[in-house]
Chain A
Amino acid sequence: MTPWMASGLVYASGLALTAGSITLLFIVTRTFNFAVASMATFGFYVAYTGVALYGGLPYQYYPLVFLFGSFLGIVCYFGLNRHLLRRQAAEITLMMSTLGYDLLLLSFIQMYADYLTHSYGLFPRRVTLNTHDFELFGERAAAIILPVIAIGLLTLLHQFMTKTRFGVAMRATIENPVLAGASGINSDRVYMVSWIIAGGMATLGGAFMAMAMTGTPTMGMFTIPLMFAGAILGGLTSLYGGILGGFMIGMTEYAGVFYLSQQLGPWVLGYRMAIPLILMAATLLLFPRGLAGIPLGKIIEKRFGRKRGESA
C-alpha cells in the first residue's frame, strides 16, 4: 500500500462514519446535524486524553469514544431536538438548533483544550495521533484496523436494523412515522436510539480522522463541509448510500491530491478541498438526489432494453 492510500483509507473511513451519522439522523428525524463537527472533534479529544494521560494505543479508547458520543447525542435529543420534533418544526429550524448546539460544544472543546494545557502541560492544539500507531503486516495498523472497524460497525448496524424487533420498528418509523405510531411503535424511543447511534458514529469518525490528519480544536469545523458533501453525495435517503458517499469523498480527495500534485506540482495541496466539492457539485448538477437517486435500474433497462429490441 502506498502512503497516500493508507492515509486515504483511514481518512475515508472516518468520513464514511460521520457522513453515515448525518444520513441516519436525517432519515429518522429530518434533522441535518451540524453538531457532527464538534462531536467528531470531541471524539478525537477523548482518544487523545486517554493516550496522553493514561498511555496505550488510541484504539483501546474507541469504546469510550463511542459512549461519549452517545451521551452527547442523548443530551442534544432531550435538551433540544425532542421539543422541536414535537412542535413539528421546519427543516431549517431543526438545522439551526443543531448549529447552536455545535457552537456550544465548540466553546467547551476550546475551554477543555485550554484546561489541558494549563493543568497537565500538554499541547492539545496541534496533535498528531498517528505517532501512537504501530505496524501490522508491514503497514500502518490504522489503515487496516479502522476500515475493518468501520465495516464491522456497518454490518452490526445492518444486522440490528434487519434482524431485531427494535431495528424493524426503526425502519418502519423511517418509512412512515404516522403508520408506525398507529401500530404501536414508540417513535420517541426510535428517535432516541438513532441519536445514540448517530452520536457514537460521529465521535468515532472524528477519532478515526485524527489518525490521518492533525488534530486541532477546529478540526471538525474545517471538515464539516466534506462530511456533508459525503452525505449529499450519498443522496440522504439510505444509510449505506451516506457511508459510501463519505468513503468516496475521502478517497477521491486523497487520490486526486496525490495524482494532481504529481502532475502539476505541490501547489495543488492548498486547494485539496476543491476536489470533493467539485465532485459534489457535479453530482448535484447531474443527479440532484445524489448517488442513491441515480436510476440505475432504468439506465440499465434503457441501454440493454434497446439493444435487445434492435437485435430482435
Chain B
Amino acid sequence: MTTDNKSYSNLGLKDFFLKREVMVIIVILALLTFLFASRGVNIILTIFIDFAVFAIITMSLNLETGYTGVPQFGRVAAVIIGAFAVGAIPGRIMAMFMGLPYGVEYASDTVNFRLVPEINQVLAGSWLISLGFLIFSLFIAAICGAAIGWLISRPAIRLKEGYLGISLLAFGDFFMWVGHNWNAMVGGSVPVSVPDPFRIFAGSRFMVIVLVIFVIAFLVFTYLQKLHRSPFGRSLRMIRDNDLSAGAAGKNIVSVRTQSLVIGAALAAVGGGLYVLYVGSAASIGFTKLTFTFWPWAFMMLGGIGSNIGVLLGVFVLVILRTMIVIFRSQWFGFLLQIGIDPLWLEFTLMGAVIIIVILFMPHGLVPEKVEPMLPKSRVRAVMERRRLAKEQGNQS
C-alpha cells in the first residue's frame, strides 16, 4: 500500500473511536445500560418516548434555525397548535359519526369524560379505524401547524435576526393562554381527554407507542436529510449564510424563509400531536415555552446547530440527564432536600448551564455541521469516471 492510497482508505479503528459522534453514542449507551440495570425497562421506554417526541420538535427547530437562520424562539406555538388540533378535531369527528354530541359540549368536562371511553371502545374494536384515527390526527395536526406557521410568519418574516426572534417569542405564549381560557376548544383549565388509537394493543400499548413515535421521528429525519441536500435546502443555506448575495442571485428570500417556517411548524405540530396522543389529554397549561422552546434550543445547541445527527445525539444526552435528575433526586441531592429545596429545579440549572457552556467553550456543538458536497460521493465519482473515459476515447480517435 502506498501512502497515497492510505489517506483514501477507511479510517482505522482508533480514529473511529475518537470521532465525536461515536464517543457520544458510547456515552449514551453506557448511561442507558446503567439506567436499565438500576431501574428496569420502563424507564428506558420513557426516555425513548421523550427522545423521539423532542427529536421531532428539535429537528423542526433545526430546519428553521440551523438551515434557514431564522431564530425561532416561538417553537412552542406550533407544538401547541398540533396538540390542540389533535385534542379538538379527531375526537369530535368520531363523536359526530357515532351520533354523540360533538359541538361546544364535547369539551365540557361533564360530557367529555363519558364520551371518550365510548369512542375508545369503538377504536379498540377495529384496527382499521384506529389506524385511520392516528393518521388523520397527525394529518390534521400538520395542516393546522402549517397554517399557524404561515400566519405567525406574516408580521415577523421581514424583520432582521433579533427582532424576528423576539416577535416569534411573543406570539409563542399567546396560544397557551388561548387554549387555557377558551373552554369550547380543548376544555381550558379542565382539559379534554383524547381518544386513544393505541387502545387496541391493550397490554403492549406502551411498546407500540414507542415504536410508532420512533418510526415517525425516523421518517422526519430522512425527510430533513433529503431536504438538506435538495436544491431547496441549498437555497436555505445560501440565505442563511448571506441573504444579500442570495437575493442578488435571484432567490426570493421572504418566500423561501416562509416555506421553511411553514414546513418546520407542520413538523413541530406533528410532534405536539403525538405527545398529546401519548399523554392522553390536551392540557394547554403544560405547553410552556420553557419545555417546548427553550429545551429544544438547549438540545440543538448542544448537538450542533445545523447538523441533524448532532441534534439527535444532543436530544438523547440531555433527555437522559434530565430523567436522571428526576430519578435520583433524593439519592444524589439529599443535601438540597434537607433545606427544603426540591432538586427538580436543577433541571433549569442544567438547561442554563448547558447553553452557557456550549456557547463559551463549544460554539459548534458536539457534532458540528459538515460542509457537504452537492452530489453524493458515488455520483461525483461516476461523473469523473465518465469524463475520463470520454477523454480517453477522444485521445484514441
Which residues of A are interface residues toward B (Cβ below 8 A)? Answer: 26, 32, 80, 83-84, 89-93, 95-97, 99-108, 110-111, 114-115, 117-119, 221-222, 224-226, 228-229, 231-232, 236, 267, 270-271, 273-274, 277, 280-281, 284-285, 288
Interface of chain A, helix or strand or loop or mixed? helix
Which of B170, B178, B355 has a CB less than 8 Å from the CB of A99?
B355
Instruction: Give the complex CA separation of A119 and B297 in angstroms.
Output: 35
A102 touches B352 (CB 8 A): yes
A118 touches B339 (CB 8 A): yes
B352 touches A101 (CB 8 A): yes
Listed by A's residue number, 7 A-B pairs whose Cβ atoms lie within 8 Å are A80-B359, A99-B352, A99-B355, A106-B352, A115-B340, A232-B167, A284-B159
A103 touches B294 (CB 8 A): yes
Given A80-B360, A96-B359, A32-B162 contact (CB < 8 Å): yes
Q: What string of 1s and 0s marks CB contacts (under 8 Å) between B164-205 and chain A?
A: 011101111110011011100000000000000000000000
Residues of A within 8 A of B297 (CB): 96, 99
Instruction: Give the complex CA separation of A273 and B173 in angstroms.
Output: 9
> Which of B31-39, B101-109, B343-351 is near enough to bind chain A?
B343-351
**What is the CB-to-nearest-CB distance from A174 to chain B, in angstroms, rounded to a whole number?**
16
Instruction: Give the complex CA separation of A83 and B357 in angstroms.
Output: 12
**What is the CB-to-nearest-CB distance from A176 to chain B, in angstroms, rounded to a whole number?**
20
Which of A110, A270, A281 has a CB less than 8 Å from the CB of B345?
A110
Instruction: Give the complex CA separation of A106 and B353 in angstroms.
Output: 12
Q: Which 8 A-B pairs have the closest CB atoms?
A: A118-B340, A270-B181, A100-B355, A103-B352, A104-B352, A107-B348, A225-B170, A100-B356
A117 touches B340 (CB 8 A): yes
Given contacts A92-B71, A107-B345, A108-B349, 17 further A-B pairs with CB under 8 A are A26-B162, A80-B359, A90-B161, A93-B359, A100-B351, A100-B352, A100-B354, A104-B353, A106-B348, A107-B346, A107-B348, A110-B342, A118-B339, A119-B339, A231-B166, A280-B170, A288-B163
B327 within 8 A of A: no
Give residues of chain B (331-383) contacting chain A, Cβ–Cβ below 8 Å. 336, 339-342, 345-349, 351-356, 359-360, 363
B156 within 8 A of A: yes
Given A92-B162, A106-B348, A101-B169 contact (CB < 8 Å): no
A32 touches B166 (CB 8 A): yes
Instruction: Give the complex CA separation of A110 and B294 in angstroms.
Output: 17
Given A32-B162, A80-B356, A229-B170, A96-B301 contact (CB < 8 Å): yes
**What is the CB-to-nearest-CB distance from A73 to chain B, in angstroms, rounded to a whole number?**
16
A110 touches B177 (CB 8 A): no
Residue of A nearest to B165 (CB): A95
**What is the CB-to-nearest-CB distance from B293 to chain A, in angstroms, rounded to a whole number?**
10
B170 touches A277 (CB 8 A): yes
Q: Which of B167, B301, B353, B363 has the most CB of A within 10 A?
A: B167
